[in-house]
A and B are shown apart, each in its own frame.
Chain A
Amino acid sequence: ELKVEQNPLFLSMQEGKNYTIYCNYSTTSDRLYWYRQDPGKSLESLFVLLSNGAVKQEGRLMASLDTKARLSTLHITAAVHDLSATYFCAVDTNRGSTLGRLYFGRGTQLTVWP
């Protein structure tokens, strides 16, 4: 069964600092997703990465994908308090036209402090 590992699981960082969250997965994946979850809330889609070398950016977050290394990164630039949340990566191994199952990592709980 596909395994998805995120690290770190907990991240406490000061506002204005940069940091990277790593997501490794154990087998070939068609698509990789990053989601954000606020306490007690559902999952909000941040990025979908479809191919090797894909890079997407939204505000202070940038995600990249290296399918050969089976690694995705979520880079945080100049963190602000509003980024405090839990971030999940998830991979989808389906090779057909219908969406398959998502395998999630355990999540990275990010806390940004002044």
Chain B
Amino acid sequence: ETGVTQSPTHLIKTRGQQVTLRCSSQSGHNTVSWYQQALGQGPQFIFQYYREEENGRGNFPPRFSGLQFPNYSSELNVNALELDDSALYLCASSWAGWTDTQYFGPGTRLTVL
């Protein structure tokens, strides 16, 4: 049991809409990363937050944005949804340290119609 939770589990949206996905990190973890996993692919890094500041970003457009809150919960917001945004979105929390591992939540399955 990693202690990382995500909501909602599944979500269906239409093109052009906006969506907010939520993640609750494992207690004590100060770093959260978000990944997008398309069907049959490995997860792709979207961005990472460390102590409420963005700490790195992958090759995703600005319509993907995030927030991390003082209680280490976080959000991923996606504006102007496109069909290709359909994927499993995973958050991973960790304590910033040399040997620590990123622990993944169960994911949110987003379908864009």
- A residues whose Cβ falls under 8 Å from a Cβ of B: 4, 33, 35, 41-45, 48, 50, 88, 90, 97-107
Name the contact of A45 in the complex, choosing from B31, B35, B96, B103 (C-beta under 8 A): B103
Report B-chain residues with C-beta under 8 Å of the C-beta of A107: 41-42
How many pairs, one residue from A and one from B, have CB atoms within 8 Å of each other in the complex? 64
B-side contacts of A44, CB under 8 Å: 104
What's the minimum C-beta distance from A23 to chain B, rounded to whole angstroms? 11
Give chain B residues whose Cβ lies under 8 Å from the Cβ of A97. Answer: 96-98
A42 and B48: CB pair below 8 A?
Answer: no
Interface of chain B residues 93 through 113 with chain A (CB within 8 A): 94, 96-107
Chain B residue numbers with a CB within 8 Å of A88 are: 42-43
Query: Is A42 touching B90 in the complex (CB atoms < 8 A)?
Result: yes
Bound Cα distance from A4 to B90, whole angstroms: 19
